[in-house]
Amino acid sequence: MEMTDICPATAWAALEEDIHRRFGLNARIYDSKGFSFTGHVTWGNRLCPAVKASPQAVSAICSLAQTAMAAQARDSRAAVIDQCDAGLYKICVPVFAGDDFVGVAGGCGALPQDGEIESFLLEKSAGLSEDQTAELSLDVPVMDEAAAAEAAKYIEERVAALLDAYRAKQNS
């Protein structure tokens, strides 16, 4: 089973846009292999695209966090809220069709309320100087734990609604 068996990629992209609009996150939907498939990109800040522009930083920060958190969400069958190595929140909500893990929905790119962006790591992995990191971080949204939990709950509810619609279509 694939994510696009549940609904078309355009519906998943609409969810990404909704998550971005509501919570200011870099919203992404991934399949079970860890690939984004919607062709839609949202950015909640200017720092994350600069990080994604560096293959080394993508590998050391973004992909590492996504892989680990998606596996944790899959294994626990529950939303995971944690931070990437750059210090930003990442939210992963598992998507299951019955017992089949088909992917994750979520977002990232907000700074925890009492958090700090890891400029040293960004310098080493993305080649961003401390001044560049400070400049690019000016628009990074700040999110407290309650707001992160609210975002995860909202994503869970939206995924559940998509799964309910899929099941109803299968049973009709």
- The pLDDT of residue 88 is 98
Q: What range does the domain containing 147 cover?
A: 3-167
What per-residue confidence (pLDDT) applies to 172?
A: 82
Q: What percent of the chain has pLDDT over 70?
A: 100
pLDDT averaged over the chain? 96
Q: Kindly report, residue by residue over 153-165, the tens digit of the pLDDT.
A: 999 999 999 999 9
Q: What's the predicted TM-score (pTM) here?
A: 0.95
The position carrying tokens 């958090």 is 115
- pLDDT tens, 26-53? 999 999 999 999 999 999 999 999 999 9
Q: Does some domain include residue 109?
A: yes
Please determine, for residue 23, whether its predicted confidence score (pLDDT) is greater than 90: yes
With respect to residue 118, please indicate whether it lies within any of the assigned structural domains: yes
CATH number for position 156: 3.30.450
Evaluate whether residue 132 is within a structural domain.
Answer: yes
Average pLDDT over residues 133-158: 97
Q: What is the 3-state secondary structure (H, E, C) of the chain?
A: CCHHHHCCHHHHHHHHHHHHHHHCCEEEEEECCCCECCCCCCCCCCHHHHHHCCHHHHHHHHHHHHHHHHHHHHHHCCCEEEECCCCCEEEEEEEEECCEEEEEEEEEEEEECCCCCCHHHHHHHHCCCHHHHHHHCCCCCEECHHHHHHHHHHHHHHHHHHHHHHHHHHHC
Distance (Å) of CA 67 to CA 47, 138, 161, 166: 21, 27, 25, 26
Number of structural domains (the chain) is 1
Asked, for residue 152, whether it belongs to a domain, the answer is yes
User: 172 lies in a domain?
Assistant: no
What local confidence, expressed as pLDDT, does residue 85 receive? 95
The answer on pLDDT for 11 being more than 90 is yes
